[in-house]
Each structure stands twice: as structure tokens, then as C-alpha cells.
């Protein structure tokens, strides 16, 4: 048998831990919500504006776009053409 106490069920399960003010909990919840939305947009490839996506489709862009963000602002952006090789290049034509 274990010497550690069993968890306390119910609202007192965090007894012994300092209580957080409600404002801190609300802020944390809001921060988590914002982060989850950012993560969803990254996973679903919704980072670019529709106008930018249209330009990329029109020019049949194949490459890598890089965006560096610092303190919530775009710090640097770049592109690398030819990141993905064309099928013709693979055949050596």
C-alpha cells in the first residue's frame, strides 16, 4: 500500500494550494482560447489571407514561405522558390 494520501474529491481537492484570484483564471482562460485558435488556424492552413492565396495559385508558386513573428508582429518574412521540385526535373529532361 502507498503512504501518500488519497486525492480529496469535490471542490476542496486543491486544499493546501493557494487560491488564484478569479481575474487570473479568466485571463488564463482567455489566453488559452487565443492560443487554441492560433493552433487551429496553423493546423488547418488558414494563416494566409485569401488575396495572398489567390496570388500563389495564379503564379503556381511552389516553394516555402517563412514568417518570423516577434512580440505579436511580423518581424521578417521571406520565400524560397523551387523548394518542391517539378516532376520534369526528376526525370532529368
Summarize the confidence of residues 6-14 as an average pLDDT.
53
Verdict on whether the full-model pTM lies above 0.95 = no
Pairing of strands 73-81, 63-70: antiparallel
State how far the Cα of 84 lies from the Cα of 64, in Å rounded to an integer: 8
- Whose cell is 492565396? That residue is 53
- Taking only the tens place, the pLDDT of each residue in 23-72 is 555 667 888 999 999 999 988 888 889 999 999 899 888 888 999 999 99
SS3 76: strand
Domain ranges of the chain: 17-47, 61-93
Amino acid at each position: 500500500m502507498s503512504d501518500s494520501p488519497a486525492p480529496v474529491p469535490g471542490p476542496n481537492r486543491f486544499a493546501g494550494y493557494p487560491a488564484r484570484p478569479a481575474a487570473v483564471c479568466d485571463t488564463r482562460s482567455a489566453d488559452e482560447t487565443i492560443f487554441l485558435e492560433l493552433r487551429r488556424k496553423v493546423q488547418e492552413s488558414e494563416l494566409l489571407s485569401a488575396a495572398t492565396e489567390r496570388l500563389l495559385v495564379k503564379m503556381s508558386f511552389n516553394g516555402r514561405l517563412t514568417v518570423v513573428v516577434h512580440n505579436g508582429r511580423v518581424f521578417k518574412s521571406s520565400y524560397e522558390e523551387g523548394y518542391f521540385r517539378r516532376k520534369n526535373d526528376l526525370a532529368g529532361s
